[in-house]
Amino acid sequence: MEINWTEIENKWRSKWIENKDFETNPNKKPKKFITVAYPYPNSPQHIGHGRTYTLADVHARFYRMQGYNVLFPMAFHYTGTPILGMAKRVEANDKELIDNLKNLYGVPEESIKEFVEPIKIADYFHEEIKTGMIEMGYSIDWRREFTTIDPVYSKFIEWQINTLRAKNLIIQGSHPVGWCPKDQNPVSQHDTLGDVEPDFTEYILIKFKFDDYIIPTATLRPETIFGVVNLWVNPEIIYKKITVDDEKWIVSQECAYKLEFLDKKIAYDGEIKGSELIGKSVTVPHREESIVMLPASFVESGTGTGMVMSVPAHAPFDYQALEDIKKDQPEPELASKVNQIIPISIIETEGYGKIPAKEAVEKFGVADQNDPKLEEATKEVYGKEFYGGKLKSNTEKFSGIKVAYAKDIIKEWLIENKHADILLELTNTPVKCRCGAECVVKVLNNQWFLNYGDKDWKELATKCFDSMNILPQEIRSEFNYVIGWLRERACARQHGLGTKLPWDEGWIVESLSDSVIYMAYYTISKFVNNKTITADNLSKEFFDYIFLEKGDANKISEITKMSIDTINEIKKEFQYFYPVDSRHSGRDLVPNHLTFFVLNHVAIFPESNWPKEIVVNGSVLMNGSKMSKSMGNIIPLRKAIQDYGADPIRLAIIISAELLQDADFNMESVSGIRNKLESLYHECSRLKAEKIENLEAEDRWILSKTQSMISQVTSAIEKMRLREALHDILFSFESDLSWYMKRVNAKNRENISGILHQINSTRVAMLSPFAPHIAEEMWEKLGHSGFASTSKWPEFSQEKIDAIAIQAEELLKSTIDDIINILKVTKITPQKITIYTTDSFKSKVYCSILEKVMAGQTNMGVVMKELIANPDTSDVKKNPNFVQKTIKDILSEPTEIRQTKLESKEFDEKSFLANELTKLGKEEFSVEIQVFSESDSDIYDPKGKARHARPFKPAILIE
């Protein structure tokens, strides 16, 4: 019978809403505050987005069943330029975008027409995403929903920004930022196509003199200026003559364009061909000395200035280019200049001779200057010299300085003497803005920055990270790394939606700065939505009082026109729910949002309100590939829910990977999960809560196994190892159940409905955080009143584990396996099977050996000696082989099994096997099975097999 998923899911969703199950208010219970990064409503959710929210929802539902008062809220991030950019593209009738909206996302044409207004886009997708979240069954308290352009939220952000500024953590100055020249706005990860963070590096421009002009060359190694012997110019490039402030420079066109954004006045004066420069001389900046300009094809116009200074002793490219020219046999005048060039060695490094570049070129077998192996050779020389090199005496006053320190010292010296300048360049080009334009680095003046470079601030954040739970553990070092390199970050933009800087209204707080402490706002947004708090009269004092416990309620009541009781109720709400117990997010937000979240919390809140935990998950692949519009493999979440049901999708997302791995989603796994859930559902429909009486061996065993499952699942979820937990509930336990059914069927038992009912009630309760809708339906079918989602999480109880039952069942299984193996090897059709269990002496010795092994003694000789020393076991000296095999038996088992064996000392193998194996064996092998103890007087043992019996390893005779 097919299940109508839509019907079931709708039914339970409306019951949850009716029951206000997820509306959370402060109460006497302990609380958990779980949050996820709120979405940008500029497109509908696809399956990939579903992962983080689903993981967080399982987490919230798990804690709720564990008896916590769980707050799991949601809001929508309208701030920033992505929505603006999209509106512009709609206005410009961008065909690709409109096709995607229509065909991929199913947006009605009337709505698309309205999308020229950015806010209509946000509102449309806001509703779309929210509906999807409801349809996924997320247990969200929707009374607390807000958007980041709500007036009260803006007041909150003003307070946040003012508070940071008062602590001198917001500064104004000139700093470089990633920049969209078309939008005239800074760009960060959220603003770029493919969500890449613009990354840039600083080159030192060394100024060589050429008549009235300056020819600047870009380098990352200013110390090598002492080893320059020529310049490289690409004869194919047409260079620009430009005026930079009051100097005349010759650079490539690309370089001139980059300089325009670096706070310099640029005027274009003319052009000069690279070939015209070849053979002419320039003067090095720091001493009166001429060097020649030579042709090189490895020089690119897009990198640096399009000219390169040549240090052949230490730069493999330069060394190779010189070799290439010599081979090319240039005209005599140039050839004589080339022949005069001798590499100047300026760095001494252990393991290198005089000319490291030459050694590296030879080692890597470089063919010419266009050989990609030169990159590797360069990396190797640079690395060794940087960490192990020292400057030689020909570097004048810098002689003896380690290269690692020399870079900054020489840079300062060059700039002070006007011999050098700075060029900032993107290292991960091309970075494209969402508007399509290629981004550059710009030095912004009078820009507002969060001073994330501040040492004290970093220290405080590190302290918070150190005390935090970070899941999975292996991501912790990434946070340390981010904190290490973080520097000033622009926090305001001149365009976009959001909150204006309170002290400089030409600026808007950007999207990665107004989304860092908003979790606190969830504790008051309920009062905003019911109109208790309005934007009028909200002042700094109000927020200080609520969030920082500063100030006087009387005064705040006067200012805000709210009653003291109301103000204190709001404050209590915050104090109850804060701090954040768990923050969930995708891995891509580690280097920005998640780190900023911690930085801003430690800056604003006292330590008692610092966040407790971060949970990071990997992304979602579709059939092994990255999801993207161009791949055409994006499945909108709501469409998938319609086709397959929310629960199968939730489970397929979870079961395909552990936390940090990329989850590989595919429709076959959704169908597989769906079938699994359907069969569990049908099973639950059949079971009745009958009384459980007269437990048999297999009953005690399966009930013990159920306890183990509870323990494993609970501890897995606590570590957010959800894949493992779900696998245990749905699949691993299934093999135990089928063994149980085999045992029960062999005995023709009919009184097991009560036991199966109890077991499946436990499973369904544990399934409920993962597959909340169908679990409710199963729960109802099992005859329980109330909701599975609000039922108590099954509790593990050590007393309910029956060690003997577990041991006995393991013995039974392994004996049957042994019989099957013997039959396989001997290929006989059995007429009769005889089993011999061990005598009581061997059991005694076994226990004694087990105790010794558990205490750490595994040395055969020592164990033997100890056994012989004891009169009870001294007879074992006649059978050393037994001792050796027993130690091996024990060591081949996991510690838990050894532990249960230690606990099940008085287990009687013979009577158990006589009772249980005979029936089951007959079913399995269609023959009579007889069981003897090796010490039985009436024993049937024609082949003398009995003496081989060992505890838990009976001897077997098949005839």
Q: How far apart are the first and last CA of the chain?
A: 47
Nearest approach, Cβ of 111 to Zn ion (angstroms)?
24
Binding status of residue 435 toward Zn ion by CB under 5 A: yes
Instruction: Pinpoint the alpha helices (H) of 372-454.
Output: 373-388, 403-416
Rounded Cα–Cα distance for residues 305 and 604 (Å): 44
Binding status of residue 620 toward Zn ion by CB under 5 A: no
Question: Read out DSSP for 436-505?
Answer: SPBPEEEEEEEEEEE-TT-HHHHHHHHHHHHHSEEESGGGHHHHHHHHHH---EE-EESSSBSPEETTEE
Instruction: Give the residue with the Cβ less far from Zn ion, 183 or 254.
Output: 183
Place of tokens 């590499």: 343
Instruction: Give the residue with the Cβ less far from Zn ion, 140 or 433.
Output: 433
Residue 950 is classified by DSSP as B
Rounded Cα–Cα distance for residues 214 and 248 (Å): 6
User: 3-class DSSP state for residue 759?
Assistant: helix
Spatial CA neighbour of 796 closest among 16, 66, 146, 124: 66
Nearest approach, Cβ of 41 to Zn ion (angstroms)?
20
Instruction: Give the residue with the Cβ less far from Zn ion, 41 or 198.
Output: 198
Instruction: Give the residue with the Cβ less far from Zn ion, 182 or 719.
Output: 182
Instruction: Give the residue with the Cβ less far from Zn ion, 412 or 438.
Output: 438
Strand partners, 178: 441
Rounded Cα–Cα distance for residues 844 and 762 (Å): 39
Nearest approach, Cβ of 76 to Zn ion (angstroms)?
23
Rounded Cα–Cα distance for residues 526 and 548 (Å): 19
Instruction: Give the residue with the Cβ less far from Zn ion, 182 or 844.
Output: 182
User: Is the dihedral angle over the CA atoms 287, 289, 290, 293 positive or is it negative?
Assistant: negative
Among 36, 37, 180, 228, binds Zn ion (CB under 5 A): 180
Instruction: Give the residue with the Cβ less far from Zn ion, 182 or 402.
Output: 182
Residue 613 corresponds to which amino acid? E
Tokens representing 423 are 């060029």
Which phi and psi angles does 167 have, rounded to 5°?
-95, 15
Stretch of residues binding Zn ion (CB under 5 A), selected from 331-339, 436-444, 462-470, 569-577: 436-444
Residues 181-210 that bind Zn ion (CB under 5 A): 182-183
Count interface residues toward Zn ion (CB under 5 A): 6
Question: Read out DSSP for 210-248?
Answer: ETTEEEEEEES-GGGGGG--EEEE-TT-EEEEEEETTEE
Nearest approach, Cβ of 187 to Zn ion (angstroms)?
7
Instruction: Give the residue with the Cβ less far from Zn ion, 198 or 285.
Output: 198
Nearest approach, Cβ of 89 to Zn ion (angstroms)?
11
Nearest approach, Cβ of 191 to Zn ion (angstroms)?
7
Instruction: Give the residue with the Cβ less far from Zn ion, 121 or 687.
Output: 121
Binding status of residue 440 toward Zn ion by CB under 5 A: no
Instruction: Give the residue with the Cβ less far from Zn ion, 495 or 639.
Output: 495
* Spatial CB neighbours of 80, under 8 Å, sequence gap ≥ 6: 40, 190, 191, 493, 496, 497, 498, 510, 511
Nearest approach, Cβ of 184 to Zn ion (angstroms)?
9
Nearest approach, Cβ of 442 to Zn ion (angstroms)?
12
Instruction: Give the residue with the Cβ less far from Zn ion, 192 or 807.
Output: 192
Which phi and psi angles does 859 have, rounded to 5°?
-80, 120
Nearest approach, Cβ of 495 to Zn ion (angstroms)?
10
Residue 91 corresponds to which amino acid? E
Q: Return the C-alpha torsion angle 672, 678, 680, 682, nearest 10.
A: -150
Nearest approach, Cβ of 496 to Zn ion (angstroms)?
11
Stretch of residues binding Zn ion (CB under 5 A), selected from 363-371, 428-436, 544-552, 848-856: 428-436
Stretch of residues binding Zn ion (CB under 5 A), selected from 177-185, 611-619, 645-653, 946-954: 177-185
β-strands 238-244, 266-273: how paired?
antiparallel
Letters for 59-98 (x = contact with Zn ion by CB under 5 A, - = none) are ----------------------------------------
Instruction: Give the residue with the Cβ less far from Zn ion, 85 or 304.
Output: 85
Spatial CA neighbour of 25 closest among 190, 144, 166, 185: 144
Stretch of residues binding Zn ion (CB under 5 A), selected from 101-109, 427-435, 539-547, 691-699: 427-435
Stretch of residues binding Zn ion (CB under 5 A), selected from 175-183, 331-339, 533-541, 740-748: 175-183
Stretch of residues binding Zn ion (CB under 5 A), selected from 21-29, 127-135, 179-187, 728-736: 179-187
Nearest approach, Cβ of 515 to Zn ion (angstroms)?
21
Rounded Cα–Cα distance for residues 487 and 482 (Å): 10
User: 3-class DSSP state for residue 872?
Assistant: coil
Letters for 133-172 (x = contact with Zn ion by CB under 5 A, - = none) are ----------------------------------------
Rounded Cα–Cα distance for residues 129 and 115 (Å): 17
Answer for the pair 235, 275: CB distance below 8 angstroms, yes or no. yes
Nearest approach, Cβ of 84 to Zn ion (angstroms)?
9
Nearest approach, Cβ of 183 to Zn ion (angstroms)?
4
Rounded Cα–Cα distance for residues 485 and 889 (Å): 55
Nearest approach, Cβ of 406 to Zn ion (angstroms)?
40
Stretch of residues binding Zn ion (CB under 5 A), selected from 246-254, 343-351, 429-437, 899-907: 429-437
Instruction: Give the residue with the Cβ less far from Zn ion, 121 or 746.
Output: 121
Q: How far is CA 943 from CA 4, 935, 940, in A?
A: 62, 15, 9
Instruction: Give the residue with the Cβ less far from Zn ion, 182 or 373.
Output: 182
Stretch of residues binding Zn ion (CB under 5 A), selected from 343-351, 375-383, 434-442, 874-882: 434-442
Nearest approach, Cβ of 265 to Zn ion (angstroms)?
24
Rounded Cα–Cα distance for residues 353 and 344 (Å): 12
Nearest approach, Cβ of 435 to Zn ion (angstroms)?
3
Answer for the pair 471, 127: CB distance below 8 angstroms, yes or no. no
Stretch of residues binding Zn ion (CB under 5 A), selected from 174-182, 450-458, 514-522, 938-946: 174-182
Rounded Cα–Cα distance for residues 955 and 952 (Å): 10
Stretch of residues binding Zn ion (CB under 5 A), selected from 49-57, 432-440, 499-507, 661-669: 432-440
Instruction: Give the residue with the Cβ less far from Zn ion, 437 or 667.
Output: 437
Instruction: Give the residue with the Cβ less far from Zn ion, 156 or 507.
Output: 507
Angle made by CA atoms 822, 825, 827, in degrees to the nearest 5? 95
Stretch of residues binding Zn ion (CB under 5 A), selected from 46-54, 59-67, 281-289, 437-445: 437-445
Among 437, 443, 692, 914, binds Zn ion (CB under 5 A): 437
Answer for the pair 245, 264: CB distance below 8 angstroms, yes or no. yes
Nearest approach, Cβ of 674 to Zn ion (angstroms)?
44
Among 140, 204, 251, 433, binds Zn ion (CB under 5 A): 433
Place of tokens 């996820």: 36
Nearest approach, Cβ of 194 to Zn ion (angstroms)?
14
Stretch of residues binding Zn ion (CB under 5 A), selected from 157-165, 216-224, 426-434, 444-452: 426-434
Rounded Cα–Cα distance for residues 87 and 427 (Å): 30
Question: Read out DSSP for 815-844?
Answer: HHHHHHHHHHHH----S-EEEEE--HHHHH
β-strands 929-933, 833-837: how paired?
parallel
Instruction: Give the residue with the Cβ less far from Zn ion, 433 or 725.
Output: 433
Rounded Cα–Cα distance for residues 114 and 118 (Å): 9
Instruction: Give the residue with the Cβ less far from Zn ion, 199 or 300.
Output: 199
Q: Site residues (CB under 5 A) for Zn ion?
A: 180, 182-183, 433, 435, 437
